Amino acid sequence: MAKKASSKSSKLSLQSVQRAQAQVNQLFEQPKVPETIEALARDNKLFLKAKANPRAFLEGRGIKLPSGADVDLEHTVVAIKLRITVRVCITVCVRVGNFFLCTRVCGTVVIAI
């Protein structure tokens, strides 16, 4: 008969989840985040540089990230007639126990051709 797995390892305290959520929320409340999203949407070379090492790029622009957080950048480009729509997203994940809490913020820039 197999032993029952300990429920302690999969339980999260509400405080640890709230603390992690507060860290991520503080990140996205920084005024440099929207500026950075707009810069990344307008400059594809800059986005490619940032994508290579998102954490270093964001910290280099003065954005404070939670320690140990995983960071990812993505963008979508759609061209319709005489305009280009670029959507840039920053996703940040922090580990909480055996789980990850991830939050994403996106911005869209429309560029007329």
Q: How far is CA 112 from CA 43, 58, 106, 109, in A?
A: 14, 27, 20, 10
Whether 67 is covered by a domain: the verdict is yes
Average pLDDT value for residue range 36-55: 96
- The overall average pLDDT reported for the chain is 87
Whether residue 25 is predicted with pLDDT greater than 90 in this model: the reply is: no
Is there a domain that residue 2 lies in?
Answer: no
Quick check: is 37 in a domain? yes
Domain containing 41 equals 14-112
Residue range 23-32: mean pLDDT, rounded? 88
Residue 81 belongs to some domain of the structure: yes
Please check whether residue 71 lies inside any domain of the structure.
yes
**Residue 6 covered by a domain:** no
Q: How many folded domains does the chain comprise? A: 1
| pLDDT tens figures, 59-102 | 999 999 988 899 999 999 999 888 999 999 999 999 888 888 89
- Whether residue 8 is predicted with pLDDT greater than 90 in this model: the reply is no
pTM for this one? 0.80
Q: Please indicate, yes or no, if residue 7 is contained in any of the structural domains.
A: no
